[in-house]
Each structure stands twice: as C-alpha cells, then as structure tokens.
Structure 1
Amino acid sequence: MTSPSKLEQLRDLSVVVADTGDFDAIKRLKPVDCTTNPTLVKKALDLPVYAELIDEQISWAKSQGEVTETLVHEVVDRLTVGVGTKLSGLIKGRVSTEVDADLAFDTAATVAKAKKFIAMYAEAGVPKDRILIKVASTWEGVEACRQLQAEGIDCNCTLIFNPTQAIACAEAGAFLISPFVGRILDWYKAHDQAPATIDDDQGVKFVRGVYGTFKRRGIKTVVMGASFRSTEQIEALAGCDRLTISPDLLDKLDADHGDLPRKLSPVAAESTQHTPVDAAKFKTDVEADPMAKEKLADGIKAFADDLKAVRKTIADRLA
C-alpha cells in the first residue's frame, strides 16, 4: 500500500486553501477554501469555464447604454462575485474576495465595497458565512476590518509583513490574517541576505513568530501562511492554522510520499497584559521596517495594477 502523500499528511495538520481561481485546479485538488483577487480574476478571463459568465456580464453592460467608468467598475465587481460564486460550489469552506486595492487607504470606501460584495453574494445565493472579505493591512484597512467584523462580516487581512500589522489586525477582530512568506524571502534575497537553511528563511521565521505570539496570547484570529516559493517553505510551516498554496505546489506535495512532520503546534495561552496597537504605533513600526514598508506598498500596487488591467480588458470588450 502506498504511503499517504505529503498533501494528504498536510491536510491532517493544517487547513489547506487553494491560492487560485482556476476552476479545474480547485475541482481536482479539493481544498477547503479558495480565493479570488484581481490577479486571479485577470487569469480567469482566459479560462473557458468562465466564458459564459463573462459573455453574460458583457451583454448586461451593453444593455445599459453608454459605456462609463462606473459601468466598467460594476462589470468587474459582478465578474469578481460571479467567479467567487462559481468557486463556492466546488468547496466546503469559504471564498476570500478582495476589496479593490485602490481603496486600501480609504476606510469608508473599503467598508462600502465589502458590504456591496456581501449583498451581491447573498443575491447569488451565497451566504456571508461562506465569504471572507479580503482587505489590505494598512491602518485604514485595519479600521475597516474592525467595523466589518463588528457587523458580523468576516475579514481576511492580507499583505502582512510586520508583527505589529499582525497584532493590529487581530485586535480589530480579523477572522484571518495572511502573512506573505515568499515575498518576505524575495526581499531578503534581493538584499543579498539569502537564508542558509529553511529554518533561517525570514518568511518562515516570521510566520512561526506570529503563530507563536497569537497562541501565547490566546488570540483566536486564524494565521494563514501565504505566497509560497517552494514546498520546503510549506513543509516548514506544517501545523499552521491554514496554508494557502498555488496549484503547482499542491501538485508537488501530492506527488511526494515522504514523511511530513508537524512543525507548529498550539501552546497554552499565557495571561499577560499588552498595550493595544494604535495608529501611531502601527505607522511607526511599519515605517521603521524597510521590508514591510516596501512589500506592503508593492503588494497594493500590484493588485491595483491587475485591477486596472481587468477594467481595461472589460472596457475594450465593451468598446
């Protein structure tokens, strides 16, 4: 009898999430949760499985009369929710849906867009407990998360690179945070500080540190390692609450039948007092961390650029 694959072993240790909007990959790999963001919606525009959805939304837009910027934005929102709705039919868990990255520094606009997405999903028959609203972890995003969580809308705070960011999101009541393992490693490698071993990998060390802090403080917020560059990074975080993994790395784990030991385990909470993170501390700590400052800005820009590209594709289709 073949021994279980590393993917099967990982499923016993962590909740496995698919970092993709690829319908066929999700169908094949059966993750618990999945995600949509502008990068993934952009890729989805070329997938045959979404062709009908795209044609439908283009027809709807053409029936609305003059093509305006507002109409193009509306089509992209409808596509985002349409892709998420389709994916929700394949999984048991939740679909993370990203609020526009160009709203990352606007709390009120982020809250409004999140509520709009929740209403659109409800109309499509997907209840809010199947959705995670993904917000960039700027201070404005943290404040939006605080408001949304207070209203029972669960948030995934993304683009986490600094411990203060992680704590602030948890204190705002975030359902889940996504620390970015691979992008942290990328930064250190670009600055000639490549780690000698996987245990020295700065992204791996960061997630292990956040996980340990959350467990010691009794914080309920889920820690979901994201943005992996290798199966070694994933294996080094086996046992983390959740891990969101691209299809190619999921396939590699599925093909490997070696042993996968647990690396992270919850510990008993210690009762200690902490001063809550405020806007001043948040901004000071992120500003003082060159990697976090640069990677947060880059991440927001990359998602905003992809969103712009999706909007341009739709505008061209409507022209």
Structure 2
Amino acid sequence: MQFFVDTADLDEIREASDMCILDGVTTNPSLVKEQGNVDFHEHVFAICEIVDGDVSAEVTATDFDGMMEEGRRLHQIHENVVVKIPLIKDGIKALRALDEEAIETNCTLCFSPTQATLAAKAGADYISPFIGRIDDISSDGIGLVEDIVQIYDTHDFDTDVLAASIRHPTHVKRAALAGADVATMPFETLLNLLEHPLTDRGLERFLADWEEYKDARKAEAGLA
C-alpha cells in the first residue's frame, strides 16, 4: 500500500518525505487556500520538487472545456502532476479525453460503487472514495472501498483505489485490509500511525535500564 499525505503545507510534506515512506501527495482548493496568498501553479510545482511521486492537483472548472483547459495547464507544471477531476458528467468526459492525451487523472469525490465503475471505464488512473465523509452520514466508507476493489478485480479495471477522507489510523488499517492501493491522509494522521502506549512504555523502560547499567559500570570501575 502506498501512503500519500493530504496537504498543501510544504513543511509537512518535507517532514513526511524525510521519513522515507511517502509515496505522493493529494491537494485540493481548500488545502491550498489554507496556505495563504500563494500562486497555485507555483505552489504545486514546489510540492512536486519535494516529492518523488504522484501529486494530485484539482481543477476548479465544472464544465468539460474548462476542465480540459485546466487539466492541460496542470499537466504542464511537472511530470509528477496527476489531474484531479470531479465525479460529474462532464468530469467523466474529461477523464476519457485526458486519458487519450496520456494525462494521468485522479477522479475525486466518489461515494458509490457505480460512480467508481464509470470512472474506471472512462480511464481514470485513480479513484478516490471519501470514506470519512461516508462514515459521517452513518454509512460504511470501508464497505465502499471493498466493493470498488471487488468490482475492479472482477472486471480487470486498471484504476488504483485511493482511500481518501481518512480521519484516523483505524481507517488506514481497514483500507489496507480492504485492498486499497493508496491511503491519503493528513500529516497528523500519518504521525499517529506511529503511536502506541506500549512502545512509549517499552522505550522508557529500556532507557531507564540503560542508565542503571551505565551507573553500575561506573561504580565497578570506581568512577561513581
């Protein structure tokens, strides 16, 4: 499973990259807005220069011509850019047209297996089911991932399942078990994957024992 961070914060991306487990980045207009008065295209380029992997950058147009124009511009920013296209009627048309131009795409805002099937048939490179938002309305986000994975496997669709809207480590674990190819998450959630009280307790004990060992060695050598 690949790990992406869902952010536009360059410091977070650098720190995640330094961990040597980062495979890519997803962004959206809301995340870029949080970075203040930045040039969108320059900011996407800066992200691509940090990450050796796919960087999803989203169009804001909702009509076919607008999505194609923005998609081509985003594609020209950097070879790592994957164009995010919303899962709407003109979006499906744009997915097919961009695929024919060899421009990689990530179909976003997926909430049903039938939507995911249409996106795969249109040639999307990634499908992004939003599992957290589905859980928010008392439905089953991981169940959606399982359904999409089964459909794609059954029909040999060459579209990666990118579990999005991840809120906590349990989402990551269950998405991995469900067969998602990628999990994209906030940087804080990525760090939370490291946390366990027994790890902290064990490390504290090992360090305390090491200090006792050094003190004992000093005492034996008459250095205490």
Please indicate, yes or no, whether the TM-score normalized by the shorter chain is above 0.5: yes
The within-5 A match list for 1:220-231 is: 220-231=158-169
TM-score by length of 2: 0.81
Matches within 5 A, 1:92-107: 92-100=52-60, 103-104=61-62, 106-107=63-64
Residue 181 of structure 2 corresponds to 241
Query: Pick from 36, 49, 56: which aligns with 1:45?
Result: 36
- Among residues 14, 19, 32, which one is paired with 2:23 in the alignment? 32
- Matched residues in 1 for 2:74 and 2:189: separation? 30
Return the match for 1:183 from 133, 139, 157.
133
Q: CA deviation at 1:229?
A: 2.1
Q: What secondary structure, in the 3-state scheme, does the structure 2 residue paired with 1:166 have?
A: helix
1:131 Cα deviation (Å)?
Answer: 1.0
- Contact 2:75/2:82 (8 A) holds in 1: no
Aligned to 1:156: 106
| Structure 1 Cα separation of the partners of residues 197 and 170 of structure 2 | 14
**Residues 13-92 of structure 1 aligned to structure 2 (within 5 Å):** 14-30=1-17, 31-45=22-36, 54=38, 79-92=39-52
Report which of the two has the higher share of strand.
2
Q: Which runs of 5+ in 1 are unaligned?
A: 1-13, 47-53, 55-78, 189-200, 259-319
CA contact (8 A) 1:36 1:80 kept: no
Higher-RCO chain (CA-CA 8 Å, sequence separation at least 6): 1
Per-residue CA deviation, residues 120-156 of structure 1 (Å, 9 max, x unaligned), is x1xxxx22xx110001001110111100011101110
Shift of 1:41: 1.0
SS in 2 for 1:254: coil
1:250 matched to 2:210? The reply is no
Shift of 1:257: 8.4
Quote the Cα distance in structure 2 between the aligned partners of 1:233 and 1:167: 22
Q: Is the 8 A contact 1:18 1:245 kept in 2?
A: yes
| Structure 1 residue 117, shift from structure 2 partner | 2.2
Q: Could you tell me how far 1:249 is from its partner in structure 2?
A: 0.7
Shift of 1:256: 3.6
- Which has the larger Rg? 2
Post-superposition CA distance 1:9-29 (Å, at most 9, x none): xxxxx1000100111111111
Alignment partners' CA distance in 2, 1:173 and 1:257: 44
Q: Which residue of 1 aligns with 2:68?
A: 111
Write the distance in 1 (CA, Å) between the matches of 2:29 and 2:41.
12
Contact 2:142-2:175 at 8 Å conserved across structures: yes
Query: Residues 256, 81 of structure 1: CA spacing in aligned structure 2 closer, same or farther, 3 A cutoff?
Result: farther
Equivalents in 2 of 1:96, 1:243: separation in Å?
Answer: 13
What fraction of aligned residue pairs are identical, expressed as a percent?
A: 31
Task: Give the root-mean-square deviation of aligned CA atoms.
Answer: 1.6
Cα distance change, pair 89–216 in 1 and its aligned pair in 2 (3 A): same
Instruction: Tell me the number of residue pairs that the alignment of Structure 1 and Structure 2 aligns.
Output: 192
Residue 180 to residue 156, structure 1, CA distance change in 2 (3 Å): same
Off by >3 Å, runs of 4+ in structure 1 = none
Amino acid at match of 2:67: T
Match of 2:218 in 1: none
Q: Quote the Cα distance in structure 2 between the aligned partners of 1:256 and 1:25.
A: 22
Q: Which runs of 5 or more structure 2 residues have no equivalent in the other structure?
A: 199-224
Amino acid at match of 2:155: R
TM score, norm. by length of structure 1:
0.58
Query: In structure 1, what residue type is equivalent to 2:150?
Result: G
Counterpart amino acid of 2:34? K
